Amino acid sequence: MKSVLIIGMGNFGSQIARRMEELRCEVMAVDINEECVDNIMPYVTNAVIGDSTDEEFLRSLGIGNFDVCIVALGSLFQSSLETTSLLKELGAKLVISRATSEVQRKFLLRNGADEVVYPEMQMAFRVATKYASDRILDFIQLDNNYSIYEMKVPNEWHGKTLTQMDIRRKHKVNILTIKRGENVFIPSPDTVLSNGDIAFAIGEEHDIRKCFRV
């Protein structure tokens, strides 16, 4: 069971707090606003009112005891930057901070963040990619190179096996699973693809797009 400190109980921070509590983490929620703390209190292990830019307040929380510290103060960049820096100075094991721009991301990384999340950019990229083609049902970017795509199987694949398609050798794309109706399964080389099949494919974006002709 991980011990998690989440600072900032706006929509983003409170959603993370609730989900991590559901995943059986011990969540300490912090916000300077009493109403925000009261709202999250029923859903987390503990919640306190406090100013995360106050070194003595942070020190009182025992920062070194948390496995993960998440700074969810995206709209308050100065506070986010100061909090990130203080957490690292006080011995935080892992600091994840939220940014709302590329400039913020760079500053946070320079000032102690081990990882920076950029939900607005990530969601915008996902939405743009998903709706760029009727064949793309969903998309998860793993890093700058590799992604997982949920794709409708092209008509020309119907009635053929994965061995016949030779997708991995021709396109450098791996088919992880096939969804057929309500069933999801790991295909064998002899799996015959059918009309309505949905493939979950992993590879580099340009290879997947070429493979599925999108």
Which superfamily does 3-117 belong to?
Answer: NAD(P)-binding Rossmann-like Domain (3.40.50.720)
Provide, rounded to the nearest whole percent, the portion of the chain with pLDDT above 70: 100
pLDDT tens digits, 150-196: 999 999 999 999 889 888 888 899 999 999 998 999 999 899 999 99
Run of H or E residues at 73? none
Starting at the earlier edge strand, list the strands of the sheet with 136-141.
136-141, 146-152, 198-204, 174-180, 183-185
Instruction: Output the pTM of the full model.
Output: 0.72
pLDDT tens digits, 45-95: 999 999 999 999 999 999 999 999 999 997 789 999 999 999 999 999 999
What angle in degrees, to the nearest 10, is found between the helix axes of 102-110 and 77-89?
Answer: 20
- The answer to whether 9 and 29 are in contact (CB under 8 A) is yes
Q: Which fold has domain 122-212?
A: Alpha-Beta Plaits (3.30.70)
- The confidence score (pLDDT) of residue 13 equals 93
How is the chain split into domains, by residue range?
3-117, 122-212
- Scan for tokens 């003595």, then name that residue: 56
Run of H or E residues at 161? none
